[in-house]
């Protein structure tokens, strides 16, 4: 049943399009002239044949925009990671707290703030247990263990922030090298011939002029 409806839809659509094209061929006025056959581009000098209805330079601009736009989009996840790790490293809120343990002794646990920060960074809960693991040195007080655990969390967050900063620095450098290469080639100029005229004759042009002379 669905196939019959689809076949009917395509047949009606094809007949409608074909009938309009056929009627237009016989009913539209025909008054060819040289002016109508010329290329028209609003505000631009005409290049190429009038049969080319779209300037290929639009493709170059669109491709360059897509390339750099997609690469710049990678800054957003980096900014998220860098911002969250920086906040964890600079926070004055306690990241480790004392909770009741077995035998009436106190033990360490991550505060809700620390757990939320690790969850936002995508760190598994099992990977954070090492921060609150019992210390090998049993002579340390529970307060001292909490301070060491907090310092370790902040130190790791600071290291991750510096690593992400170096990573995005390398990425941005590569992006700027590509941008400089495209700029040097003249691909950012709408009319590359104009940029060549401004820059003066190239070596190839000078060599051809010398040989012709």
Q: What is the domain count for the chain?
A: 2
pLDDT 10s digits, 89-141: 887 767 887 777 666 677 788 888 888 888 888 888 777 877 777 766 667 77
Please check whether residue 89 lies inside any domain of the structure: yes
Residue 155 CA: distances (Å) to CA of 85, 118, 122, 137? 10, 14, 18, 21
pLDDT 10s digits, 48-63: 665 666 667 777 788 8
Phi, psi (deg, nearest 5) at residue 123: -80, 125
Share of the chain above pLDDT 70, in %: 75
Residue of 197 and 146 predicted with greater confidence: 146
Range in 54-68, 95-109, 145-159, 197-211 with the lowest mean pLDDT: 197-211
Q: How many CB atoms lie within 10 A of CB 150?
A: 20
Residue 88 confidence (pLDDT) above 60: yes
Burial of 88 (0-12, 13-18, 19+ CB in 10 A): buried
Please check whether residue 136 lies inside any domain of the structure: yes
Residue 34 confidence (pLDDT) above 60: yes
Residues 99 and 55 in one domain: no
Residues 92 and 47 in one domain: no
Q: How confident is the model at residue 213 (pLDDT cuts 50, 70, 90)?
A: low
Share of the chain above pLDDT 90, in %: 6
Task: Print the domain residue range for 108.
Answer: 74-185
Q: Which residues pair with 125 in a beta bridge?
A: none
Instruction: State if pTM tops 0.85.
Output: no
The mean pLDDT of the chain is: 77
Residues 99 and 40 in one domain: no
Structure confidence at residue 96 (pLDDT) = 80
Q: How confident is the model at residue 195 (pLDDT cuts 50, 70, 90)?
A: very low
Q: How many CB atoms lie within 10 A of CB 161?
A: 20
* DSSP strand pairing (96-100 vs 106-110): antiparallel
Residues 86 and 173 in one domain: yes
What does the alpha-carbon distance between residue 200 and residue 213 come to, in Å, rounded to a whole number? Answer: 19
CB 13 within 8 A of CB 24: no
Please check whether residue 207 lies inside any domain of the structure: no
What does the alpha-carbon distance between residue 39 and residue 181 come to, in Å, rounded to a whole number? Answer: 32
Phi, psi (deg, nearest 5) at residue 107: -135, 170
Q: How many CB atoms lie within 10 A of CB 78?
A: 15
Residues 113 and 133 in one domain: yes
């Amino acid at each position: 049943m669905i196939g019959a409806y689809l076949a009917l839809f395509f047949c009606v659509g094809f007949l409608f399009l074909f009938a309009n094209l056929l009627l237009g061929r016989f009913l539209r006025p025909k008054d060819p002239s040289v002016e109508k056959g010329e290329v028209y581009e609003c505000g631009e000098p005409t290049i190429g044949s009038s049969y080319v209805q779209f300037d290929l330079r639009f493709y170059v601009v669109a491709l360059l925009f897509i390339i750099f736009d997609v690469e710049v989009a990678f800054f957003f996840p980096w900014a998220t990671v860098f911002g969250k790790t920086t906040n964890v490293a600079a926070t004055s809120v306690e990241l480790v707290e004392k909770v009741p343990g077995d035998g009436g002794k106190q033990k360490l646990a991550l505060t809700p703030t620390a757990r939320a920060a690790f969850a936002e960074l995508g760190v598994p809960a099992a990977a954070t247990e090492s921060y609150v693991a019992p210390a090998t040195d049993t002579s340390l007080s529970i307060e001292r263990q909490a301070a060491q655990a907090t310092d370790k969390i902040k130190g790791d967050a600071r290291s991750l922030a510096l690593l992400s900063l170096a990573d995005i620095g390398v990425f941005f450098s590569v992006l700027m090298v590509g941008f400089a290469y495209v700029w040097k080639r003249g691909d950012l100029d709408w009319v590359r011939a104009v940029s060549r005229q401004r820059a003066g004759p190239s070596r190839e042009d000078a060599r051809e002029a010398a040989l012709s002379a």
